[in-house]
Amino acid sequence: MSESVKSLLSTLTSPGEYRVLRGNLGIAGQQGVVFTPDEGHNLPAVAFGHGWLTGAANYRKLLQHLASWGFVAAAPDSERGPIPSHLNLAGDLLTTLDICTGVRLGAGDITVHPDRLALAGHGMGAGAAVIAASHRPVRAVAALFPAPTSPSAVSLAPGIETPALILAGSEDIDAMNSDAIPLARAWGGPAVLRSIAKGSHNGIVEGRRALSALGASKHEPKTARLTRALLVGYLKYELLGDKKYKAFADPEEIIARTEVVDPHAEVEAKEPEHLSKRQLLELATLLRR
Give per-residue pLDDT as tens, 146-183: 999 999 999 999 999 999 999 999 999 999 999 999 99
Say if CB 258 and CB 195 are below 8 A apart: yes
Q: CATH number, domain at 213?
A: 3.40.50.1820
283 pLDDT band (50/70/90 cuts)? low
pLDDT at residue 276 greater than cutoff 60 = no
Count of domains for the chain: 1
Which one has a higher pLDDT value, 275 or 99?
99
Beta bridge partners of 141: 119, 164
Q: Which DSSP helix (H) or strand (E) runs through 226?
A: helix 221-240
DSSP assignment of 33-67: EEEEESSEEEEEEEEEE--TT--GGGGHHHHHHHH
Instruction: For residues 246 and 23, give the distance between their C-alpha atoms in angstroms, rounded to a whole number.
Output: 31
Could you give the CA distance from residue 195 to residue 272 in angstroms, rounded to a whole number?
Answer: 21
Instruction: Tabulate helix, strand, coil % of the chain (nearest 5).
Output: 40, 20, 40
Indicate the helix (H) or strand (E) that contains 113.
strand 110-122
Judged against a pLDDT cut of 70, whether residue 210 lies above it is answered with no
* Structural domain containing residue 68: 3-288
Kindly indicate the confidence band of residue 272, based on its pLDDT and cuts at 50, 70 and 90.
very low
**Nearest alpha carbon to residue 80 among 210, 208, 205:** 210
Q: Residue 270's pLDDT is what?
A: 47
How many beta carbons lie within 10 A of that of residue 165, not counting itself?
26
d(CA 47, CA 249): 19
pLDDT at 198 over 50: yes
Percent of the residues in the chain that have a pLDDT greater than 70, as a whole number: 88
pLDDT of residue 282: 59
DSSP class of 192: E
Cβ distance 87 to 94 under 8 Å?
no
Q: Quick: pLDDT tens for 68-97.
A: 999 999 999 999 999 999 999 999 999 999
Instruction: Say if residue 214's pLDDT is above 60.
Output: no
Which residues partner with 74 through β-bridges?
A: 34, 47
Lowest-pLDDT choice from 106-110, 127-131, 246-250 = 106-110
Q: Given a cut of 90, is residue 200 above it in pLDDT?
A: yes
Separation CA 155–CA 255 (nearest Å): 30
Is the distance from CB of 157 to CB of 187 less than 8 angstroms?
yes
Q: Residue 163, preceding bond cis, omega within 30 degrees?
A: no
